[in-house]
Amino acid sequence: MGKEELLDALAGLPAAASIEDLPAQFAVVHEALSDIQRKRWKFLEDACSVVLRQVFSLVSNDEIDGMSDVDSREFTISTQEGVDLCLQFIEPLIHSTVLVADALDDEQEAVSQRGVVIAALLYLFAKVSKDSEIKSRLVAKVLLCGVEIHVILATLRFREELIECRRALLPSYESDSEAESELDSDDDEGLSEHTGEFESEDTQWITEQVAKAWGLTKYRYFLQTSGQEYSFTAWSYRGIGNFVHAMITDEQHGVNVMPAAVSPFSWLFHIAAYAHYMIHSKDHQERLCGLEVLRVICDVCPNDKLTLDAERGRDENNDTSLSFRQQAASFRKRDWMSPLIQVITNAMVAFPEVNDRSSTLAVLKELVSKIAVTDRFWILRDLIIKCPYGNVAAVLVDFVRNDAVQSWSSSETNSQSPFKTTEICLLLQDTLTKSAERDLVLHADLVASCLSLVRFLYIRDKDNTTGIQTKTTNHGIRDVLTRISKRLQLKIEESTSGRSNADSQSVENDFTHLMILEASLSSTLELCN
């Protein structure tokens, strides 16, 4: 009986003549759902999809594409009004669903009902941008649903692993580019019908195995990248990002709502995925939100304790001959920190405001400080060599120098420390060699930071364990410094000529920068000799 009533109730939604008529029709839908027991979650999914579609088809802006014929609208609403209307529909469902799910013997049915409500709330979270009151209200509703926070936060990392395993194990997998773009587009916010009408057995098997490995088999329907009847049911990672930001920056909730049973670094691992895409966003405010999320979660993590699989000479080539278990294990050991640091440094360079750049640098320092010292060296080494921005690479070299000072000042002896082996010398040599071929004005900060570290090692490393004092014809530190010195002299001569022919403040600043670098280089060469 309830099924026919539900269909009639949902069919009556488009006939609403005003906003005031919608809540009354919502009540009819609720009553019809209350009479359904068998596979209630599927009817719940249908109802949420129809209501969300109907409400947001009335929004009077361009956020929703292809939701309905604009010319057929008799009235329009704002996005905020749309979210509020949807909450009027969802809030009673939360309470009824929790009561029903708690009483069920069928665990999968209970999980699925909760998952649908979470999906609807996350969809709304993806629509909210600035209204903190609605965000706080949504956070409270998500927490009421009875789904553990770590399950929700695992969504993006789960999908990353799923995509990588499919790519590695199914070379002919046709959805590679589509799956890859899922994590960089707005597609997950759509309400268009999303089908998994055809999924190969191999694809299904990989999804099942990844879900089993994560212990999330019961939530697979909501976590997987395809296969849901409606796309809104795939938990929106943008909605989760907004949920995380609202939750951990809210005075009422904060990081205290995250169970202590999960380690701080596990929270960092999951939350960093959302911070990454937020910082990568073109939207300025979203970038700042991503940085704030990262700052807050870093505050609860101890320094120098995060160990990563960052080893010298590690083979980063994907081996497609690996089994699923080997491929999954390899993926979980990947370096997820370097891409995060890169996106932070890119944001730091892109921000036009000094205050934003300074706050980004503070977040970067806080994040880097969490990594175990030895792993930090290997990660920073690779980033320094690859970094195209001289001033950013200089900051990273300063991190290495600070660690080197701590290592050489420590009473503990560690023969494996890269700061007391030739590795640090090789880093300096590679960095200075590359800088010698680049614009010295743009890379003056980087060269200066390297020179500071060179001088420190020359003074402290009396036994030459790092090889800093080794004299070679072509590749030694001294040879590189000599080449830089010659180029620097030519650059200074050019700048001197430029000063006489121009009054530009930037020309004057460049000249001053070069003169400071020359003094630093001269003192370093004198020490080397």
Q: State the average pLDDT over residues 159-167.
A: 90
Provide DSSP, 34-68: HT--TTHHHHHHHHHHHHHHHHHTTBSSSSS-SSS
Q: Do the beta carbons of residue 167 and residue 176 sit within 8 Å?
A: yes
In a domain, 389, yes or no: yes
Give backbone dihedrals phi and psi of 482, rounded to 5 degrees, phi first: -65, -40
What's the DSSP call for residue 418? Answer: G
In a domain, 342, yes or no: no
Per-residue pLDDT, 322 = 63
pLDDT band, very low/low/confident/very high, at 16 (cuts 50, 70, 90): confident
Residue with the bigger pLDDT between 312 and 41: it is: 41
Per-residue pLDDT, 493 = 83
Tens digit of each residue's pLDDT (9 = 90 or more) over 207-223: 999 999 999 999 999 99
Q: Domain of 481?
A: 372-529
CA distances (Å), origin 80, targets 14, 68, 85, 142, 163:
20, 19, 9, 18, 34
Per-residue pLDDT, 464 = 87
**Burial class of residue 463, CB neighbours in 10 A (0-12, 13-18, 19+):** exposed
CA distance 191 to 49: 7
In a domain, 481, yes or no: yes
Per-residue pLDDT, 225 = 87
Mean pLDDT of all residues belonging to the chain: 85
In a domain, 251, yes or no: no
In a domain, 210, yes or no: no
Residue with the bigger pLDDT between 171 and 438: it is: 438
Q: Which of 1-10, 377-386, 483-492, 512-521 has the largest mean confidence? A: 377-386
The two tokens of residue 476 are 């030694």
Residue with the bigger pLDDT between 108 and 332: it is: 108
Count of structural domains within the chain: 2
pLDDT band, very low/low/confident/very high, at 171 (cuts 50, 70, 90): confident
In the chain the first and final C-alpha atoms are separated, in Å, by 94
Per-residue pLDDT, 68 = 45
pLDDT(339) > 90: yes
Q: State the average pLDDT over residues 385-397.
A: 95
> 109, 130, 151 — which closes off a domain?
130
Q: Is 399 strand, coil or helix?
A: helix
The two tokens of residue 84 are 């509020």
pLDDT band, very low/low/confident/very high, at 472 (cuts 50, 70, 90): low
**Burial class of residue 425, CB neighbours in 10 A (0-12, 13-18, 19+):** buried
Per-residue pLDDT, 74 = 59
Q: State the average pLDDT over residues 306-325.
A: 62
pLDDT(233) > 80: yes
Tens digit of each residue's pLDDT (9 = 90 or more) over 32-41: 999 888 899 9
Q: Do the beta carbons of residue 372 and residue 306 sit within 8 Å?
A: yes
pTM higher than the cut 0.85: yes
Residue with the bigger pLDDT between 363 and 16: it is: 363
In a domain, 92, yes or no: yes
At a CB cut-off of 8 Å and minimum separation 6, what does 35 contact? 1, 2, 5
Residue with the bigger pLDDT between 13 and 131: it is: 13
Per-residue pLDDT, 450 = 96
What stretches of 281-389 show up as alpha helix (H) in DSSP? Answer: 284-299, 324-332, 337-350, 354-368, 373-386
Going by C-alpha positions, the residue among 362, 389, 504, 382 that lies closest to residue 445 is 389
pLDDT(72) > 60: no
CA distance 41 to 46: 9
Q: Is the dihedral of CA 467, 472, 475, 479 positive or negative?
A: positive
pLDDT(71) > 50: no
In a domain, 145, yes or no: no
Residue with the bigger pLDDT between 141 and 176: it is: 141
> 111, 130, 149 — which closes off a domain?
130
Lowest mean pLDDT among 12-26, 284-298, 366-380: 12-26
pLDDT band, very low/low/confident/very high, at 529 (cuts 50, 70, 90): confident
Give backbone dihedrals phi and psi of 237, rounded to 5 degrees, phi first: -70, -25
Q: Which of 176-180, 320-324, 373-377, 507-511 has the largest mean confidence? A: 373-377
Tens digit of each residue's pLDDT (9 = 90 or more) over 255-266: 888 887 789 999
> 130, 158, 188 — which closes off a domain?
130
Total residue count of the chain as it appears in this document:
529
What's the DSSP call for residue 77? Answer: B
Q: Do the beta carbons of residue 154 and residue 223 sit within 8 Å?
A: yes
Percent of the chain whose pLDDT exceeds 70: 84
In a domain, 397, yes or no: yes
CA distance 246 to 356: 20
Q: Do the beta carbons of residue 324 and residue 213 sit within 8 Å?
A: no
Paired residues of 371 in beta bridges = 306
Give backbone dihedrals phi and psi of 36, rounded to 5 degrees, phi first: -100, 130
Tens digit of each residue's pLDDT (9 = 90 or more) over 118-156: 999 999 999 987 777 899 999 999 999 999 999 999 999
Going by C-alpha positions, the residue among 91, 231, 218 that lies closest to residue 148 is 218
Lowest mean pLDDT among 66-80, 81-95, 322-336: 66-80
